[in-house]
Structure 1
Amino acid sequence: MAKTENMGVNTICTHVGEVADEQFKGAISPLYMSSSYAYENVDIKRYPRYFNTPNQEALGKKIAALEHTEAGMIFGSGMAAVSHCLLAFLQKGDHVVLQKTLYGGTYNFVVEEFGKFGIEYTFTNGFAEEDFRNALQDNSKVIYVETPSNPLMLITDLEMITRLAKEHDLVSMIDNTFASPINQNPADFGIDIVIHSATKYMGGHSDICAGAVAASDEHIEQIWNLSKNIGGSLSDYTVWLLERSLKTLALRVKAQNRNAKKMAKWLHKHPLVKKVYYPGLKDHPDYTLAKKQMKGYTGMLSFELIPTVNAETFMQSLQLIKQSMSLAGVESTILSPAKTSHTLLSAEERTHQGISDGLLRFSVGIEEKKDLIADFEHAFEVAAKKEIA
């Protein structure tokens, strides 16, 4: 196999990390379901909890190639990947700096669990370099970000984060789920550890739950040393399904990028929409930064309805686009952050973060643009009539 740096992304998606079918010469990776392997006279002592079954090991190579790192690991969920990475580099008495807005699961993990381990943490007040500097302490060990952010699609400067991390000898981590490896490769900007909820764009079909991590051999070794004791490995059948899904990752994501940009522009002009949050729009506050560090603007966007349009009525009137908790599948989905990801925050806290009851998060799928617009137009018409009545 040629060096992956010389390969196009679709070639990486299709071929890197395959398990060779030496016996029958099949065109795809065979699935090894065994949970028990020989330990005498073998090169590798394999054990599922050690993340080194044939399918696990091969898929890690595909993840690494996609994220331009030396190594990769696959986990049972995105939160398994997040928690294992943080705990691998933090211990009692350490401090971590975290971006102001994070995925709700990550936020809850930090707030609810870190005190039990004696780990200190600070959430930044904003996204600027000064905000991160002000959050640093003498015992800081890790700096953790997520860009684009959920749900307002704000962008964090990755070169700035790398600079701060190197200056203060910190390990830098990013949740790259919203971008996917197709739109953003944080390792190219010096970020140490790249984390994904592989349930989302990597899986892409709303039918598997998985997590992924890409990093240097040294950092992966440190994560593995903890992970083998905690046991967050993924079943090989799901590993096999994820490898199958990744073969179309670039095709899917690029189609979702195109749809999202078109829908963002259309919503931006709609009279019943107050504001659209999409980094591919020139009026987005981080458009220039997004253009610098992203290759595509993702299939995710949020938009805020004008106050006279009821968000629940609007969503319930949709016939094609599904109300659903997750994101990044080939089908378009929509939700209210105030009633899902940010429901544990008080109304005042949500207002402070810019999350109103009329804010909706839209995960754009691969459907035809005209069909998505027709569905929205119907929902807008129903919601507007109800308000008038």
Structure 2
Amino acid sequence: MNSKNLGLNTICTHVGEVEDKQFKGAISPLYMSSSYAFEDVEVKRYPRYFNTPNQQALCKKIAMLEKSENALIFGSGMAAVSTTMLALLHKGDHVVLPQTLYGGTYNFVVEEFHKFGIEYSFAEGFSEADFAEKIQSNTKVIFVETPSNPLMRITDLEMIARLAKNHGLVSMIDNTFATPINQTPADYGIDIMIHSATKYMGGHSDICAGAVAASEEHIKTIWNLAKNLGGSLSDYAVWLLERSMKTMAIRVKAQNKNAKKVAKWLEKHALVNKVYYPGLKTHPEYAIAKKQMRGYTGMLSFEINESYDVQGFLRSLQMIKPSMSLAGVESTILSPAKTSHGLLSPEDRIKQNISDGLLRLSVGIEDIEDIKADLEQAFKAILKLKK
């Protein structure tokens, strides 16, 4: 097969497999060894060096999906984010990021960067001017997250790549919410793609992992630090992740379809003040999302009128699970103010427009009528509570 012309489902299923040369099994064998020979071998393998057979094979799949030369797998999304940033930023350097940012990334920046002498600025909007005005003489990186967590704001990737190249900067994106199924930032000139592979890549709420895809040059730079920080992933988790990614394209497309229907339904609901979903024509960056995304993701957020019992709504759900993470085959929901952005101060949450009534819904693959029915019975429950 010509790997350059493979479809997404074929890449997910076949690229990055470890060939079972001994028994000819249909799936990748699992190599659990933490100790490999160093004499008379082409590769001196060690798990912390990210080069065991299962690690290297999975990286091929991720790199091809992201249209990159290479990739690395980490023990968590934040291990991928922190290692990549610290590998590209040094004392005296500066990075530009969006104000609306995943709470873990935001907390990492504001809590840790000053210890390394790294400076940062947050763009207050999403236009080219918003990012450009924050660029300084010592800026080295522009980091974006699109769709953003949890308000689903969209950043124009072509604009970010152009801005970065015009100023000699490295562009990075957290591509977790979109996945390479819905969006391939390399098509628009973005240099480095980062994922919490815990989410859609894993897809079954049973793996914690992270990933970075980029050019060989950038991956070498990141690897030089990664091997010292030791954020590698166990081979069993790598094997599980490779298995899970075989169905990623199918799962994500089903979740996209369900999420768009739920978003349209919620937009008309009397108890909902606002719905945040890039696939809605009312979304402020709908035109950009339509241009650069093949699907609009299975994630959405919505605000319940705070005169109602938001926690009562969560407790009333019967099928949809109030749960900390996202992107599993099952629908889950959480309050960003209490979980993903709980590390932020109330003032910082206000800056990001994260209210106590905001709920983030990860739409699963259940039948759409069952998802809507569970939401509706929870809405009815809080109506009764108010009476």
Cα–Cα, structure 1 residues 283 and 367, in superposed 2: closer, same or farther, change >3 Å?
Answer: same
Residues in 1 aligned to 2:116 and 2:175: alpha-carbon distance in whole angstroms: 26
1:247 aligned partner, one-letter code: K
2:256 aligned partner, one-letter code: N
2:2 aligned partner, one-letter code: K
1:140 aligned partner, one-letter code: T
Residues in 2 aligned to 1:348 and 1:35: alpha-carbon distance in whole angstroms: 46
Residues in 1 aligned to 2:185 and 2:17: alpha-carbon distance in whole angstroms: 24
Aligned positions, number: 387
Instruction: Return the offset for 1:352.
Output: 3.3
- Contact 1:99–1:127 (8 Å) recurs in 2: yes
Instruction: Return the offset for 1:110.
Output: 1.1
Q: Tell me, which stretches of 5 or more residues in structure 1 are unaligned?
A: none
Instruction: Return the offset for 1:346.
Output: 4.0
- Contact 2:75–2:208 (8 Å) recurs in 1: yes
Aligned counterpart, 2:372: 373
Q: TM-score when scaled to structure 2?
A: 0.98
CA deviations on 1:241-286 (whole Å, 9 max, x unpaired) are 0000000000100000000001001111111111111000011111
Instruction: Return the offset for 1:105.
Output: 1.1
Aligned counterpart, 1:387: 386
Aligned counterpart, 1:82: 81
What is the percent sequence identity of the aligned residues? Answer: 74
- Contact 1:176–1:194 (8 Å) recurs in 2: yes
- Contact 2:97–2:120 (8 Å) recurs in 1: yes
Instruction: Return the offset for 1:359.
Output: 1.1
Alignment RMSD (CA, Å) = 1.0
Instruction: Return the offset for 1:348.
Output: 4.1
Residues in 2 aligned to 1:123 and 1:131: alpha-carbon distance in whole angstroms: 9
Aligned counterpart, 1:70: 69
Aligned ranges for residues 115-264 of structure 1 at < 5 Å?
115-264=114-263
Instruction: Return the offset for 1:324.
Output: 0.6
- Contact 2:73–2:232 (8 Å) recurs in 1: yes
Aligned counterpart, 2:298: 299
Residues in 2 aligned to 1:350 and 1:228: alpha-carbon distance in whole angstroms: 35
Partner of 2:337: helix, strand, or coil?
helix
- Contact 1:100–1:127 (8 Å) recurs in 2: no
Partner of 2:133: helix, strand, or coil?
helix
Runs of 4+ in structure 1 off by over 3 angstroms are: 344-349
Aligned counterpart, 1:44: 43
- Contact 2:48–2:231 (8 Å) recurs in 1: yes
Partner of 2:220: helix, strand, or coil?
helix
Question: Which segment drifts farther, 244-253 or 110-119?
Answer: 110-119
Q: TM-score when scaled to structure 1?
A: 0.98
- Contact 2:142–2:171 (8 Å) recurs in 1: yes
Instruction: Return the offset for 1:376.
Output: 0.9
Question: Which segment drifts farther, 256-265 or 348-357?
Answer: 348-357
Residues in 2 aligned to 1:58 and 1:300: alpha-carbon distance in whole angstroms: 29
Partner of 2:171: helix, strand, or coil?
strand
1:361 aligned partner, one-letter code: R
